[in-house]
Chains A and B, each alone.
Chain A
């Protein structure tokens, strides 16, 4: 016999109520854990994507759109940046590095990005198979692109205009010369090629030439040379009539705030569920006390102290909440993992149910505090119970 065994026996005899309470707690915990898991992984992902990029310079438009289109590859570009502006910025003394990217086409929904090999170096991307592009119309596939399309080095493909189902550039096929190693970033979902390749495909629509003349680009990913640049460079760029400067850290924070609002609503819902669960535990324990008055009196005559009975009550609340906690954690991790397996978008976004979210561990003390709070009122009632009066009623 142990206190746990005694409590489990009590929980078992009121199985329906026990299961209901565990489910309520489990659902609250599952919602909160999912928010922690998704929120933290989303934040990590965003931070990973913007690492090493101090400023993005693009055509006048929304700074958030510029970041979404050129860093996260989720939106349409704001426009083009002329070769003259590119040269001006690349040669500016406040700029340590400026990597150009040119967008416009896609294949199988994956964006084709014209850029320079420096981008891969900057993002720490290595080549898993083949080599880097060396000539126009040579392409390196991101790891996820290669996996989902099954394309290997030597394969040919054509891009189509825009992000989904635009005009195919059948007369300008690309040849796969390399496959990038998996990074867990957006690079996995990109098709990388030279700027010249993109200019070549879009020659009639851009000012690009086929003879090495610089064409328009979509944006420049800039790294500052000095901290002073953070103050001066955006101002300088924004003063130019066709350009806009977007600070990824700032725009990412804005983006997370927008997403965060939805997460806050869910977090509130999870909190409400847990509060309901706490009240349910309180009611369950109060009812249990009323039902068990005889048992409690009997145990007192057997030699149980008030302290022992209160410990049993608290343990019962703790057993309920820890079962709910375990159920909730399992539900959250398992459902996210299932989501990742079923939805390619979730897989592509790098979500995983097999990791612990940073704040997750705090759910344990929070839930234990909830259990103790829920058991407090019944415990006080138990402490004040008049043993002789209960015995007299039997």
Chain B
């Protein structure tokens, strides 16, 4: 992993080709994200936003080309190595897939550290919960949370292992205007506080202005 003074990009994509069911989705000659940059991936449904994010996260491999995250070529790792690498260096926030229901709020945060073998003090996890405004819900059952609260916990959990890259897939699409704005501001703030690069896939035009730049996929490109 790069040091804090490292100017190498957090994400470097070269000659990338992604397709689904034989249909080309994404083609990028060269694309990179420096540390701390905030990028919106925009495009209509089916344009490949989720596929692209999953490729950056190493959840799937590119059909062609190279994806380098924090200096590591994802295709050159085994699946298990990619899993652990993702857990340690990439935070992922899903649209609706938030929390493990059988665990408490705090345990959901502990889980993120546990699965990659990190030891994180509860105090830091509580601090993370405080940063998303949920310090008093640490021991609550996740079943009792509203959709917006669950999304906040998911954001806090994405930051548990101090990732250099945070990916969010349509994090606000299921929220009303007020909550959508609040969640996005939260994502931008917590990523900026930690110097992490942020990539958010969205087709929500309300939010585009908050990003440093955007990458359009599909017809809007």
Chain A residues with CB under 8 Å of chain B are: 1-2, 5-6, 9-10, 12-13, 294-295, 297-308, 387-388, 391-392, 394
Contact = CB atoms under 8 A, between A and B. Distances in A.
A181 B138 CA distance: 66
Given A304-B115, A306-B80, A297 B102 contact: no
Given A294-B97, A303-B87, A307-B80, A10 B115 contact: no
A394 B114 contact: no
Contacts of A1: 107, 110-111, 113-114
Interface stretch (B7-15, B88-96, B186-194): B88-96
B100 A303 contact: no
A299 B111 contact: yes
Contact of B101 (A295, A299, A300, A388): A295
A392 B48 CA distance: 12
B114 A391 contact: no
B97 A300 contact: no
A384 to B, nearest CB: 13
Contacts of A305: 79-80, 83-84
Interface of B: 50, 54, 57, 59-60, 79-80, 83-88, 92, 94-103, 107, 110-116, 157, 161
A299 B54 contact: no
Minimum-distance CB pairs A-B, first 8: A303-B87, A1-B110, A1-B114, A304-B115, A13-B102, A303-B116, A9-B102, A305-B80
Contact of A6 (B54, B79, B111): B111
A3 B189 CA distance: 33
From B50, B101, B102, B112, name the one whose CB has the most chain A CB atoms within 10 angstroms.
B102
B100 A387 contact: no
Nearest to B85: A303
B59 A12 contact: no
A388 B59 CA distance: 7
Contacts of B103: 6, 9
Nearest to A5: B107
Chain A binding site: helix, strand, loop or mixed by DSSP?
helix
Contacts of A298: 94, 97-100
Contact of A302 (B79, B85, B102, B112): B112
Given A294-B97, A299-B115, A302-B112, A9 B107 contact: yes
Contacts of B80: 305-307
Contacts of A2: 114
B111 A387 contact: no
B120 to A, nearest CB: 9
Nearest to A291: B101
B96 to A, nearest CB: 6
Contacts of B83: 300, 303-306
A305 B79 CA distance: 8
A394 B102 contact: no
A4 to B, nearest CB: 11
B115 A303 contact: yes
A322 B102 CA distance: 22
Given A1-B114, A303-B85, A306-B83, 11 more contacts: A9-B103, A12-B102, A299-B111, A302-B112, A303-B115, A304-B87, A305-B79, A308-B115, A388-B54, A391-B54, A394-B94
A13 B86 contact: no
B55 to A, nearest CB: 10
A113 to B, nearest CB: 67
Contacts of B79: 305-306
A307 B28 CA distance: 33
Contacts of A308: 115
17 contacts: A2-B114, A6-B103, A9-B107, A298-B94, A298-B99, A302-B112, A302-B115, A303-B88, A303-B115, A305-B80, A306-B83, A308-B115, A387-B59, A388-B54, A388-B60, A391-B54, A391-B94
Contact of B94 (A12, A295, A301, A306): A301
A307 B84 CA distance: 11
B59 A13 contact: no
Contacts of B84: 303, 305
A391 B103 CA distance: 20
Contacts of B113: 1
B130 to A, nearest CB: 20
A10 B92 CA distance: 23
Nearest to A296: B100
Contacts of A299: 100, 111, 115
Contacts of B98: 298
Contacts of A388: 54, 59-60
Contacts of A391: 50, 54, 59, 94, 97
Contacts of B86: 301, 303
A301 B107 contact: no
From A1, A308, A388, name the one whose CB has the most chain B CB atoms within 10 angstroms.
A1
B59 A302 contact: no
Contacts of B102: 9-10, 12-13, 295
Contacts of A13: 101-102
A5 B107 CA distance: 10
Nearest to A299: B115
A12 B103 CA distance: 10
B58 to A, nearest CB: 10
Nearest to B112: A302
A301 B57 contact: yes
A140 to B, nearest CB: 68
A47 to B, nearest CB: 53
B87 A394 contact: no
A180 B57 CA distance: 82
Contact of B92 (A295, A301, A394): A301
